[in-house]
Structure 1
Amino acid sequence: MGRYLGRKGLIYALTLFVAVTINWMLPRFMPGDPISDMVSRAGLRDPEAAARMQAYYENLFGLDVPIWQQYLNYWGSLFSWPPDLGISMWSFPRPVGDLVMGALPYTLALLIPAILLSWYVGNKLGALAARRKALDNTVLPVSYLLTATPYMWLAILLVWFGGMQLGWFPSSRAYSGNLVPEFSMSFIGSLALHWVLPFLSLFLVALGGWAIGMRNLVIYELESDYSNYLGALGAPPRLIRKYAFRNAMLPQITGLALQLGVVLTGNIVTEVVFNYPGLGLLLLNAITSTDFFLLQGIVLFVVIGVLICNFVIDIVYVWVDPRTRTGLQGASA
């Protein structure tokens, strides 16, 4: 087990190095000059003053050194304590870390319930549909419809129907504009109401994919040789379904790791549609304002989060799959 974790840790460390390097490179290939944009927004008419401001900003953001030195400085700032992600050009002079940490709770409040609940409910519905014809005739078409629906389209539909037509839920922001974030029942209630529609947009699309996957896997397992053999031995159908469900869960656990990137992409679009102040909306602001440092900080948090979740899922897979544990024990013997 130790060798397995060490090998996985080395792979993830190498992946993190490559991802961080690409994350540093991509903003610098974007068109436009953010420093010139900041100087132009100042509205200086004196060319000499504008040149001095340009030089000041280039020195402040570390852009007055060679590109290789900028790369080494970036790694050095990441390994400092606390890590220094730089200063935002879009929200100057606020640190990038403060902006990201301010938006992160809103994104996690959407992602974690949407991912876990859609995975759990989708697997349960898919397993039930695999052995009940009446349920299969309804769950399967609805699941195909949901999983084929783009996140943005469903978000717009929910805004129109749930927010504008029915008026049940707010269709924009994370809380009412007349409230200040604080630990109070009025703020928590407003936060919950504004959370419902963005959550449903992520939950429903992911739910359809999990239900289809589990339904097909359970049917495959129920028709496999070991299920037929257990039936011939007189095993009760409940026991056969139990083994089929457990075996069908293994690919779904692997699929959970693979779907994290897809759900994160959908979350970005959803937050933009609902003007929800999470990392997705912050990322849009960073791109439109050519904010190198804010863009790097957001993507860095996303990369680290996805890698940590995948590593945890790898460990969980070893724990739930006895064949993997047996293979590891045989390799260490």
Structure 2
Amino acid sequence: MGRYFRRKLLIYGVTFVIAVTINFAIPRMMPGDPIARMLAQNKVSNVESAARMHAYYNDLFGLDVPLWQQYLNYWGALFQGDLGVSLFAFPSPVSSVVLDALPYTLGLLLPAILLSWFVGNGLGAIAARSKWLDNTALPVSYLLTAVPYMWLAILLAWVGGVILGWFPVAGGYSFSFSGPQFSWNFIVDALHHWFLPFLSLFLVALGGWAIGMRNLVIYELESDYSNYMQTLGAPRRLVRRYAFRNAMLPQISGLALQLGVVVGGALVTEVVFAYPGLGSLVLDAIQNQDFFLLQGILLFIVIGVLVFNFLADVVYVLVDPRTRLGLEGGAS
């Protein structure tokens, strides 16, 4: 097992290097000059002053050296925990900007993903053996899965915020608060703003998990080992238990992928509700050609995907006995 995990760590290490390299290259493939854009936003109209400031900021951000040297400098700063300074929120460090938005994204996506996973898998497993629930839940699940996030978010904002007036349709908290604070009033207000974005993500994800689990359980119940167990007289409940455990394995992989990209935020949903998470921050970074902020967010996504996929590999070994037998066979 130790050899297995060491091999996995080596694969993830190589993947991390490749992903960080792509992460470095993608922002620099974007057209335009981020320094010139920043000076234009600050309304620097004097040509001589603009040229001097352009040279100064190029030197400050390390953009006045060849691309290969920028790449080496990027790795050197990365090992020191320095993600650079944001152009969009200058002079704030990228790490500070990302960490300010990260709690909103985690607080929104983690409950939506985990709750939809548990509820969707439960409904799918029940629908696989209940004709009534299969005829009702399955069409609803297909409908929810086919609904785009943006359309559902707009519909919920219109119904819940405009027509009924129960929930606010924008922001992470009310403008009456100067900023996030630890108080009951702020927590209640933040939850009030959180509900509609959460509901839109939860409903769309719920349908996909339910359909996937329903189809996987039916496949496992019709497999050879299930028929063999029934032939031997095994209780129906025992056969279903084995089918459910085997069907859960692909769902665990799907959950790991979903959790891995959680730090990337839900771009469309956060933009619709003007929610101050990483999804909105990605859009701001792209619109303002903020190389360093975009690199920082993508780096968080890469690390999240690799960490949660490694945890999924660990869970596979613990949950699936066939994996352990394969490891023992390889070791012998």
Q: TM-score, normalised to structure 2's length?
A: 0.95
What is the rounded CA distance, in whole Å, between the counterparts of 2:231 and 2:325 in structure 1? Answer: 28
8 Å Cα contact 1:152/1:266 also seen in 2: no
Which residue matches 2:286? Answer: 287
Per-residue Cα deviation, 1:282-315 (whole angstroms, up to 9, x for no partner): 1111000111111111111111111111111111
Which residue matches 2:159? Answer: 161
Aligned residues: 331
Which residue matches 1:34? Answer: 34
Which residue matches 2:328? Answer: 329
1:49 aligned to 2:49? yes
Per-residue Cα deviation, 1:301-331 (whole angstroms, up to 9, x for no partner): 1111111111111111111000001111121
Letter in 2 for 1:17: V
8 Å Cα contact 2:104/2:277 also seen in 1: yes
8 Å Cα contact 2:217/2:244 also seen in 1: yes
8 Å Cα contact 1:147/1:208 also seen in 2: yes
Per-residue Cα deviation, 1:223-250 (whole angstroms, up to 9, x for no partner): 2222223223332222221111111111
Per-residue Cα deviation, 1:4-33 (whole angstroms, up to 9, x for no partner): 111111111111111111111111111111
Which residue matches 1:118? Answer: 116
8 Å Cα contact 1:88/1:291 also seen in 2: yes
Letter in 1 for 2:204: V
Displacement after TM superposition at 1:263 (Å): 6.8
What is the rounded CA distance, in whole Å, between the counterparts of 1:50 and 1:245 in structure 2? Answer: 65
1:61 aligned to 2:61? yes
Which residue matches 2:210? Answer: 211
Which residue matches 1:275? Answer: 274
What is the rounded CA distance, in whole Å, between the counterparts of 2:243 and 2:47 in structure 1? Answer: 74
Displacement after TM superposition at 1:260 (Å): 4.9
TM-aligned CA distance change 1:232 to 1:175, over 3 Å: same
1:171 aligned to 2:169? yes
2:98 is aligned, of 83, 100, 112, to 100
Letter in 2 for 1:132: S
8 Å Cα contact 2:213/2:248 also seen in 1: yes
Which residue matches 2:131? Answer: 133
What is the rounded CA distance, in whole Å, between the counterparts of 2:109 and 2:269 in structure 1? Answer: 11
1:311 aligned to 2:314? no
Displacement after TM superposition at 1:258 (Å): 4.0
Which residue matches 1:147? Answer: 145
Displacement after TM superposition at 1:196 (Å): 0.9
What is the rounded CA distance, in whole Å, between the counterparts of 1:234 and 1:222 in structure 2? Answer: 15
Displacement after TM superposition at 1:221 (Å): 1.6
Q: How many percent of aligned residue pairs carry the same amino acid?
A: 69
Displacement after TM superposition at 1:166 (Å): 1.6
Which residue matches 1:257? Answer: 256
Displacement after TM superposition at 1:34 (Å): 1.1
In structure 2, stretches of 5+ residues that fail to align are none
8 Å Cα contact 2:213/2:251 also seen in 1: yes
What is the rounded CA distance, in whole Å, between the counterparts of 2:292 and 2:264 in structure 1? Answer: 20
Displacement after TM superposition at 1:206 (Å): 1.1
**Root-mean-square deviation (Å):** 1.6
What is the rounded CA distance, in whole Å, between the counterparts of 1:52 and 1:91 in structure 2? Answer: 21
What is the rounded CA distance, in whole Å, between the counterparts of 1:23 and 1:164 in structure 2? Answer: 40
Displacement after TM superposition at 1:36 (Å): 1.1
Letter in 2 for 1:170: P
8 Å Cα contact 2:264/2:301 also seen in 1: no
8 Å Cα contact 1:202/1:263 also seen in 2: no
8 Å Cα contact 1:151/1:266 also seen in 2: no
Letter in 2 for 1:31: P
Displacement after TM superposition at 1:89 (Å): 0.8
Displacement after TM superposition at 1:38 (Å): 2.0
In structure 1, stretches of 5+ residues that fail to align are none
